[in-house]
Chains A and B, each alone.
Chain A
Amino acid sequence: GAGVSQSPRYKVAKRGQDVALRCDPISGHVSLFWYQQALGQGPEFLTYFQNEAQLDKSGLPSDRFFAERPEGSVSTLKIQRTQQEDSAVYLCASSLALTGYNEQFFGPGTRLTVL
């Protein structure tokens, strides 16, 4: 596709439910990032993939958060046993490579609301 796409755009979950958020990066992009944006805040880094390898997961807030990119393209962010504090917009970004300057292109985000 022309840009990064994310689905669903909106997700409402009851506390305790598991959710899965999908990111389709730009074709050929090696690097993929997930960010969490709480209401009224700037995005905060969650995790990073280079192809299928998850090289940095230092931003994941708890072991309830899990991300994967098994074939080096589509990525899924899974949140188990959702809590109200998980309510946020989850942004995905991709870039062509790691080294040098490579612009991160962002998707439209998934707004997760946990009731």
Chain B
Amino acid sequence: AQTVTQSQPEMSVQEAETVTLSCTYDTSESDYYLFWYKQPPSRQMILVIRQEAYKQQNATENRFSVNFQKAAKSFSLKISDSQLGDAAMYFCAYRSKRSYGGATNKLIFGTGTLLAVQP
């Protein structure tokens, strides 16, 4: 079974600075998706960025980028030029690409990192 671990329950960053959130995962599969989701107090889960395991190039989306280390099973999120609106809970998630055997392709989440942005 796959597992996702986020070892930083809380992080804090100054506005305009850069912060990195850590995530490790465990799987025996060779191809899969990894995601970072943002959950503000409104509870709406918003996709921040995704990475396909077979792609060696790290994904980027504006101020958000990842450091994907497949061999180490590590998937960290870097937020550059942090803004007050970035304050939220961030979840790392795994999804299998396997579609045979009735696989559901459900998301498997870590326990989250609460990010505070200081003005």
A-side residues, CB < 8 A to B, are: 33, 35, 40-45, 48, 55-56, 58-59, 89, 91, 93, 98-99, 101, 103-104, 106-109, 111
Query: 5 tightest CB-CB pairs across the interface, nearest first?
Result: A42-B109, A106-B45, A45-B106, A56-B104, A109-B43
Bound form: Cα–Cα A25–B112 in Å: 25
CB <8 Å contact, B91 and A42 = yes
CB <8 Å contact, A108 and B102 = no
B-side residues, CB < 8 A to A, are: 4, 6, 33, 42-47, 50, 52, 91, 93, 99, 102, 104-112
Can you show 14 pairs from A to B with CB atoms below 8 A apart? A35-B107, A42-B109, A42-B110, A55-B102, A58-B104, A59-B106, A98-B105, A101-B33, A101-B52, A104-B47, A104-B107, A106-B44, A109-B43, A111-B43
Most buried by A among B4, B42, B105, B108: B105
Bound form: Cα–Cα A80–B40 in Å: 30
B residues within 8 A CB of A35? Answer: 107
Beyond the given A41-B111, A56-B102, could you list 14 further A-B residue pairs with CB under 8 A, ordered by the A residue number? A33-B104, A35-B107, A40-B112, A41-B112, A42-B91, A42-B111, A44-B109, A56-B106, A59-B106, A98-B99, A103-B47, A108-B42, A109-B44, A111-B43
- List the count of A-B residue pairs having beta carbons below 8 Å apart: 59
CB <8 Å contact, A33 and B106 = yes
Bound form: Cα–Cα A98–B98 in Å: 10
A residues within 8 A CB of B6? Answer: 42
CB <8 Å contact, B104 and A48 = yes
Which residue on B lies nearest to A91, using beta carbons?
A: B45
CB <8 Å contact, A108 and B44 = yes
Which residue on B lies nearest to A3, using beta carbons?
A: B44
Bound form: Cα–Cα A44–B91 in Å: 12
Output the least CB separation between B101 and chain A (Å): 11
A residues within 8 A CB of B110? Answer: 42
A residues within 8 A CB of B111? Answer: 40-42
Asked, given contacts A42-B111, A98-B99, whether A48 binds B106 with beta carbons under 8 Å apart, the answer is: yes
